[in-house]
Structure 1
Amino acid sequence: MAEFDDLEAVPAPEGELTLCLVASGQETNIHGDISAGWVVAQMEQAAELAAARRAQGRTATVAMQAMDFLCPVRVGATLNIHTQLQEVGRSSMTFTVEAWIQPPFETGPDSYYKVTESRFVMVALDEQGRIRAVPEEA
């Protein structure tokens, strides 16, 4: 029974896996770790993908919440971005976006590490770039 209790205590990503990619050496900062800016850009891209699916078209980022980075991202790590829709307004959508990594030589359920999370507010746009209503969910 203790084994199952321990498994429940291990944090896990929430939401849908929206983007998964390998961190390459081209994205490093002066210390040799993957740049935080690159991680944020991947999170925004995942938010855009999730928002475009929900809005059935073009979207744009209008806000994001501050982030705390919990661990460095090393070259070769797999970066997994999870998105979860929190709220839909008339023209906006709010998503929680989490970034998790798996180091290149680790496996198993406890080999995933949370890097950061944020809330992204996305707005639906028409083809001319004007704000439009988010369609009702089918």
Structure 2
Amino acid sequence: MLRTVLIAGFAVLALAACSKRTRPPGGDDICWHVAPQTDGTLKFNKLKAGVPDLEHCAAELESMRVRFLRLGGSQREVVGAFKGNFIFVERRGIFTAPSLEEHRYLAMVRTGDGRLAVPGAMPRAPEPAAPPQ
């Protein structure tokens, strides 16, 4: 009985590993804007070339998002891609993942005034001094 359960478990894991994942284009130093189409496919629009790293691509996507909102747009979340990773610009911050189906990892957080910063880069307020004893 245990053998049958183990075999079935390994079969399920093998099938899950073979599932097709949506991967972005690799492109050297190219920041992409990802636009979902009505038929379920994704369209990759070249946003900027010569981008040095993921943080700068995220800043370009955030800038594009803000410009569209100022023009009257309503889309508050933007998806992009850089060097084979998806970038998700959300209200809480910037997240990244190697595919659309995988777990998203925090890349940048929003500060109190809405700017973006690398987690842990902002100075913390000093702890209040303990009263003398």
- TM-score, normalised to structure 1's length? 0.33
Which one has more relative contact order, counting CA pairs under 8 Å at least 6 apart? 1
Q: Which has the higher strand share?
A: 1
